[in-house]
Amino acid sequence: MLEFIAKLFGKESGSKNIATERLRLVLVHDRASISPQMLESLKLDLIKVISNYMVIDEKNLEVNLDSSGNTVALVANIPVKGMKRNAG
């Protein structure tokens, strides 16, 4: 995710930027009251359900929490390789 943000804003990933991003993620996780283990479990469940309908690139799948003001959002970037003809 850090690389994506750096590419998006055209900034080099310096240690200050990395530390700031890590702190932001810790604060978001704390505000959402969700542990890293719970987020990983959620990610595995998403993979399981979505894989019933689509062929996805699990290695490049990203699931994160993001905050905007008082709102926390689940953000999933799921690369889709193709659709399955027979769901289930």
pLDDT digits (tens, 9 = 90+) for 20-77: 777 766 666 566 677 778 888 888 999 999 999 999 999 999 888 777 777 778 888 9
Question: pLDDT at position 8, please?
Answer: 53
Domain count, the chain: 1
Q: Is residue 6 part of a domain?
A: yes
Tokens of 17: 């930027």
Q: Please count the CA atoms within 13 angstroms of the CA of 7 that sit on its side-chain side.
A: 4
Q: Is residue 88 part of a domain?
A: no
Alpha carbon distances (Å) from 87 to 45, 52, 63:
16, 6, 23
Q: Is residue 63 part of a domain?
A: yes
Task: Give 61 or 7, the one with higher predicted confidence.
Answer: 61
Question: pLDDT at position 36, please?
Answer: 78
Distance, CA of 32 to CA of 71 (rounded, Å): 9
Question: pLDDT at position 43, please?
Answer: 87
Q: Is residue 6 very low, low, confident or very high in pLDDT (cuts 50, 70, 90)?
A: low
Task: Give the domain range for residue 74.
Answer: 2-83
Report whether pLDDT(5) > 60. Answer: no
33 with 64: CB under 8 angstroms?
no
Task: Give 11 or 47, the one with higher predicted confidence.
Answer: 47
Distance, CA of 75 to CA of 35 (rounded, Å): 16
